């Protein structure tokens, strides 16, 4: 046990905060930022592809279409573009690469930024058709994660279909710190509006030099008819209806935010002019909340400036239980939509997105064999079910028992290799399937 702690302490001391690229790289990428915009021909091909798939369904019947869409060598797989099908409850009906998830309700799937993958697409599909973005593995590129532009199309009242194209540029990652600050900012603005009234709040929110403009963060607001109430850097749009406004990828960003507000709150991606970059388009992740039955407000982070701030894993890592749970759910989703082999490979990558300083994804099978332990790769393949803490508790056995029942928190004492003291730690555990589980943990004061 002591030798294990010493080795881990040494490794963590050297690798505790690996950067997500160097500052020099960040500066270079910032100056060379290219917005992730699909070219017109690729977008037109995507729309045509789905229309073909819809016509096939209507001509040949649902059962035959589901069979065709699930064939990885069939006519509805073309390069990295493929058709998948869902019902409106979020249950997967057809997919050429995810046969293990067919019949599963996938509304719980999250991308690496915690944005719902299928839940947001269902909302767009209910309208009939539309575009959306998420961060998703590319099965034709060894499941490397990338930003994806999707087009979804309603077939009938029981089924919708989708397909997508991968967009150029680095993976847009928004840290837990940035997302925490974004939510706090939006909730502060909502509270201000509730306390001071709509008119006064909008007057303050519309001031580009006011207290609700902080760096790249600013409040924008609309009523539930799509009329702009607050746009501090685009005052000419205030009073106009922008419900059907689209970004360069065809995403109806006002409508998307409005529908999220209608459910209470939520997150979504789209391209939008950045005040910091002379109003040139950048990818934006917004957080939206309902104020009352008449209007809603939101704010968003731009991917380029967010990446500049997130140079160390101290910003990226979860620091409380809710964030820890989200981090594990993101990893759980990644495991489901790739494969055990690919997910474990990614979890073991010390420079990857699943290692955030001293918070990282670990994984075991239900026989106790270690599948992922990024700071101790020599332990992979070994049986660690007999590992005990200083109190004699078999922690991996107890975490495995939680995973057998699905998911949950596990509180225990563990020696922190940095302080060399036994400290309170909490892990969140999630079952992937009947063969393995994963988790991550944070120390609590």
Specify the pTM: 0.90
CA 173 to chain centre: 8
Give ranges for CATH 3.30.450.20 in the chain: 2-20+313-443, 40-166, 176-309
The CATH homologous superfamily to which domain 40-166 belongs is PAS domain (3.30.450.20)
Q: Is 231 helix (H, G, I), strand (E, B) or coil?
A: coil
CA distance 185 to 137: 31
Bridge partner list, 441 = 427
Q: Going residue by residue through the chain (445 aa), what tens digit of pLDDT does each one get?
A: 554 444 455 445 444 444 444 333 433 444 578 899 999 999 999 999 999 999 999 999 999 999 999 999 999 999 999 999 999 999 999 999 999 999 999 999 999 999 999 999 999 999 999 999 999 999 888 888 999 999 999 999 999 999 999 998 888 999 999 999 999 999 999 999 999 999 999 999 999 999 999 988 999 999 999 999 999 999 999 999 999 999 999 999 999 999 999 999 999 999 999 998 899 999 999 999 999 999 999 999 999 876 555 545 578 999 999 999 999 999 999 999 999 999 999 999 999 999 998 899 999 999 999 999 999 999 999 999 999 998 999 999 999 999 999 999 999 999 887 778 889 999 999 999 999 999 999 999 7
CA 110 to chain centre: 5
Compute CA distances 252 → 86, 242, 319, whole Å.
21, 9, 34
Q: How is domain 176-309 classified at the CATH fold level?
A: Beta-Lactamase (3.30.450)
Quick check: 182 and 217 in contact, CB under 8 A? yes
CA distance 161 to 392: 52
Q: Please give the torsion angle defined by the CA atoms of residues 51, 55, 58 and 61, in that order, rounded to the nearest 10 degrees.
A: -100
CATH of 2-20+313-443, one of 3.50.50.60, 3.30.450.20, 3.30.420.40, 3.30.360.10: 3.30.450.20
CA distance 92 to 415: 43
CA 345 to chain centre: 19
Strands (E), 70-193: 77-78, 81-82, 84-86, 92-94, 129-138, 144-156, 159-166
pLDDT per residue as tens digits for the range 406-429? 999 999 999 887 778 889 999 999
């Amino acid at each position: 046990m002591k030798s294990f702690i010493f080795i881990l302490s040494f490794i963590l001391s050297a690798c505790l905060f690996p950067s997500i690229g160097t500052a020099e790289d960040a500066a270079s990428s910032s100056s060379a930022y290219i917005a992730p915009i699909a070219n017109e021909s690729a977008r037109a091909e995507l729309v045509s592809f789905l229309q073909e798939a819809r016509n096939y369904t209507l001509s040949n019947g649902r059962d035959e279409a589901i069979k065709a869409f699930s064939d990885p060598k069939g006519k509805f797989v073309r390069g990295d573009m493929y058709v998948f099908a869902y019902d409106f409850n979020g249950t997967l009906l057809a997919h050429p690469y995810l046969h293990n998830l067919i019949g599963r309700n996938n509304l719980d799937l999250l991308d690496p930024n915690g944005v719902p993958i299928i839940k947001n697409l269902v909302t767009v599909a209910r309208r009939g058709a539309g575009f959306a973005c998420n961060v998703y593995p590319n099965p034709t590129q060894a499941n490397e994660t990338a930003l994806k532009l999707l087009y979804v199309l309603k077939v009938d009242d029981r089924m919708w279909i989708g397909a997508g194209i991968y967009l150029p540029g680095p993976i847009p990652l928004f840290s837990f710190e940035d997302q925490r600050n974004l939510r706090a900012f939006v909730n502060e603005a909502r509270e201000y509006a509730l306390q001071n009234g709509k008119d006064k709040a909008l007057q303050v929110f519309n001031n580009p030099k006011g207290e609700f403009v902080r760096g790249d963060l600013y409040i924008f607001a609309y009523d539930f008819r799509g009329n702009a109430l607050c746009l501090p850097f685009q005052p000419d749009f205030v009073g106009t209806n922008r419900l059907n406004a689209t970004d360069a990828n065809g995403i109806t960003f006002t409508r998307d935010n409005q529908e999220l507000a209608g459910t209470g709150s939520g997150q979504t991606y789209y391209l939008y002019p950045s005040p910091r970059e002379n109003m040139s388009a950048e990818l934006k992740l917004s957080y939206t909340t309902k104020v009352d039955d008449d209007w809603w407000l939101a704010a968003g982070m731009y991917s380029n400036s967010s990446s500049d701030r997130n140079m160390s894993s101290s910003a990226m890592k979860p620091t409380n239980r809710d964030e820890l749970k989200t981090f594990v759910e993101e990893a759980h989703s990644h495991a489901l939509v790739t494969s055990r082999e690919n997910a474990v490979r990614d979890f073991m990558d010390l420079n990857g997105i699943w290692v955030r300083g001293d918070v990282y994804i670990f994984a075991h099978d239900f026989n106790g064999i270690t599948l992922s332990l990024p700071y101790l790769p020599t332990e992979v393949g070994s049986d660690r079910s007999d590992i005990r803490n200083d109190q004699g508790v078999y922690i991996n056995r107890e975490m495995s028992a939680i995973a057998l029942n699905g998911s949950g928190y596990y509180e225990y004492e563990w020696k922190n290799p940095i302080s060399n003291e036994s400290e309170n730690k909490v892990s969140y555990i999630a079952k992937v399937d009947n063969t393995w589980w994963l988790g991550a943990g944070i120390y609590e004061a």
